[in-house]
Amino acid sequence: MTLLPIETVEAVSDRNTVLPSSSNSLRLDLTATEEPAEVAILTTPDNGALRVIDGDTLAIGETRIRLYGIDAPELSQSCSDMRGQDWACGQWSKAVLAKLAVGSVRCVARDTDRYGRTVAVCTSKAGDINAALVASGAAYAYAKYARDYVALEEVARAEGQGLWRAGAQAPSAYRAEKRGAQPEQTPPGACAIKGNISGSGKLYHLPGGRWYGGTRINEAQGERWFCSEDEARAAGWRKAQG
């Protein structure tokens, strides 16, 4: 068994910088286990260069990866510090991920999400990146989908790490609030199939589908409405899961 210290990270709202803190060093079990042959494993630089998209999403080559079991603030999201002043917590979480995802990064797939992204646990010389983000208070444990990191979040909350130093809105609540503020879209005539473009490519959503209501069409970005599935497929879109 190999145990390596994971250095926690604190947010300083005055500058939105990232400072290391050794006072609450965590020790994570990084014992190597053999994954089944069918499990997708992505590594840098073998599968391409790494890019950090936001606080819980990165890309290796052309593959977008959503970090399993965690949920970080959206890039546009702000939080309140202990003085009640706003600071860019979404940008800060992205910066923390960028500091952790350096050198050789290895991601083991767990699932594929509704956007077609690979859902994975990623490790670097810092250890389990997903766990380190939660332990440093840079992300929430996404208990709706997995409970792997719930205990780490409880410790981060108790210690006032990162987002837990003051007021922070859960990313899921922030997204729901943003969706609620947007007017409902009306399809043009009978052409009600939504052709959405995301990091996973071109996906079309059928009325009554699980993600139809929350999908918005931005025609300025090349998204469009379709009158039939045949039309959508002919234009290069594929059916969304769910």
- Higher-confidence residue of 208 and 148: namely 148
Mean pLDDT, residues 158-169: 88
Which helix (H) or strand (E) element contains residue 17?
A: strand 17-29
What domain range includes position 109? Answer: 3-175
- Whether 16 has a pLDDT exceeding 80, the answer reads no
Q: Considering all CA atoms of the chain, what is the largest pairwise distance in Å, rounded to the nearest integer?
A: 62
Choose the final residue of a domain: 159, 175, 191.
Answer: 175
Q: Helix/strand/coil (H, E, C) string of 125-175?
A: CCEEHHHHHHHCCCCEECCCCCCCCHHHHHHHHHHCCHHHHCCCCCHHHHH
Q: Are residues 54 and 84 in the same domain?
A: yes
C-alpha count within 13 angstroms, C-beta hemisphere, residue 190: 3
d(CA 25, CA 29): 13
Q: Is the dihedral of CA 54, 105, 140, 159 positive or negative?
A: negative
Q: Does 198 lie in the same domain as 147? A: no
Q: Looking at 175, 192, 220, which one is the last position of a domain?
A: 175
- Do 29 and 120 reside in the same domain of the chain? yes
Can you say whether residue 60 is alpha, beta or left, with left for phi > 0 and alpha for psi between -120 and 50 degrees? beta
Per-residue pLDDT tens for 104-160? 999 999 999 878 899 999 999 999 999 999 999 999 999 988 999 999 999 999 999
Of 128, 144, 175, the position where a domain reaches its end is 175
pTM score, whole prediction: 0.64
Place of tokens 């379709």: 226
Residues 92 and 195 in one domain: no
Q: Pick from 75, 99, 83: which is nearest to 13 by CA?
A: 83
Question: Residues 7, 8, 14, 17: is their CA dihedral positive or negative?
Answer: positive
Q: What are the tens digits of pLDDT across the range 39-95?
A: 789 999 999 999 999 999 999 999 999 999 999 999 989 988 878 788 999 999 999
19 and 104 co-located in one domain = yes
**What's the confidence (pLDDT) of residue 229?**
95
CA distance 86 to 40: 40
Find the length of the chain. Answer: 242
